[in-house]
């Protein structure tokens, strides 16, 4: 096979997340302002996180960043040693609170099964934490399809740094040219290019529009379009 390993982002790629994370984002900002008596306009903080009234910026922190990135934003507005622990605790609590509203992209399980049955290695690389990622995959019974889960709290570098691919290269003895990257944000596309990944596929099921994914080799509506006429699209000559 030309390609051996398929990497998926999570939020917006496997998971329909924007409406839920808009709520979580506004909740955490409101709580931050009230808890630490922040005398800054809420809109300034929302803008710093890449969050609007009902949308998330594709390259913003809430879409593509980590909990550490959120903490860095909050630390700009208040000098308090409790900010880090408070943010982690409350982000976890909000994620649990809204967990029942999370939806897997319909048909994702069918695609993953097809890839696995065809002999591909599968990995998730996400800015999320390991526990919440593992919980999501298990909730929708797709955890066992994945050989590797790479999360922001388990590795020293983050997307789009190509070094995040090193563990996959070493463990499976494969080249990045034998990998496929599937994601919904510009950060995912940049990882594909920075890592010289063989095929970079953008999906429109998250926060991005076509123009945000201009570095992709292919742009699809969602992961279900990885299969066309009962065939994986790159097997048709991509």
What is the domain-level CATH number for residue 165?
Answer: 3.40.50.1000
State whether 195 and 218 are in the same domain: yes
Q: Which domain holds residue 72?
A: 18-100
pLDDT score for 121: 99
State whether 224 and 139 are in the same domain: yes
State whether 163 and 137 are in the same domain: yes
Q: What burial letters (b/e) apply to 51-82, b meaning 16+ CB within 10 Å?
A: beeeebbbbbbbbbbbbebbbbbbeebbeeee
State whether 67 and 42 are in the same domain: yes
State whether 85 and 108 are in the same domain: no
Q: Answer with the one of 100, 130, 157 that is the final residue of a domain.
A: 100
Average pLDDT value for residue range 11-28: 91
pLDDT score for 26: 96
In this prediction, residue 96 has a pLDDT band, given cuts at 50, 70 and 90, of: confident
Percent of the chain whose pLDDT exceeds 70: 99
State whether 23 and 11 are in the same domain: no
- Total count of domains within the chain: 2
Could you tell me which residues are beta bridge partners of residue 180?
6, 199
State whether 27 and 50 are in the same domain: yes
In this prediction, residue 132 has a pLDDT band, given cuts at 50, 70 and 90, of: confident
Q: Answer with the one of 85, 100, 115 that is the final residue of a domain.
A: 100
State whether 73 and 157 are in the same domain: no
In this structure, are residues 177 and 197 in contact, taking their beta carbons and an 8 Å threshold? yes
Dump the DSSP string for 100-159.
Answer: GG-EEPTTHHHHHHHHHHTT-EEEEEESS-HHHHHHHHHHTT-GGG-SEEEETTTSSS-T
Q: Answer with the one of 65, 100, 135 that is the final residue of a domain.
A: 100
State whether 73 and 125 are in the same domain: no
State whether 112 and 224 are in the same domain: yes
Rounded to whole angstroms, the Cα distance separating 70 from 112 reads: 31
Asked if residue 193 has pLDDT above 70, the reply is yes
Average pLDDT value for residue range 172-199: 98
State whether 55 and 73 are in the same domain: yes
pLDDT score for 237: 66
State whether 214 and 111 are in the same domain: yes
Q: pTM for the whole thing?
A: 0.88
């Amino acid at each position: 096979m030309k390609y051996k390993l398929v990497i998926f982002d999570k939020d917006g790629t496997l998971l329909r997340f924007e409406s839920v994370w808009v709520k979580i984002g506004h909740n955490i900002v409101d709580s931050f302002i009230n808890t630490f008596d922040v005398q800054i306009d809420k809109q300034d903080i929302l803008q710093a996180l890449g969050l609007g009234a009902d949308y998330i910026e594709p390259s913003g922190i809430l879409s593509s960043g980590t909990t550490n990135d959120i903490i860095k934003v909050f630390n700009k507005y208040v000098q308090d040693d409790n900010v880090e622990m408070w943010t982690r605790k409350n982000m976890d609590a909000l994620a649990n609170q809204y967990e029942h509203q999370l939806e897997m992209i319909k048909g994702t399980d069918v695609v993953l099964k097809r890839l696995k049955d065809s002999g591909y290695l599968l990995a998730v690389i996400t800015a999320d934490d390991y526990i919440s990622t593992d919980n999501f995959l298990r909730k929708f019974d797709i955890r066992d399809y994945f050989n590797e889960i790479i999360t922001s709290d388990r590795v020293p570098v983050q997307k789009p740094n190509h070094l995040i691919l090193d563990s996959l290269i070493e463990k499976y003895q494969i080249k990045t040219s034998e990998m496929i990257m599937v994601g919904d944000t510009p950060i995912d596309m940049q990882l594909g290019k920075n890592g010289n990944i063989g095929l970079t596929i953008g999906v429109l099921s998250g926060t991005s529009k076509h123009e945000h994914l201009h570095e992709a080799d292919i742009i699809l509506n969602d992961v279900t379009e990885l299969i066309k006429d009962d065939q994986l699209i790159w097997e048709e000559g991509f």
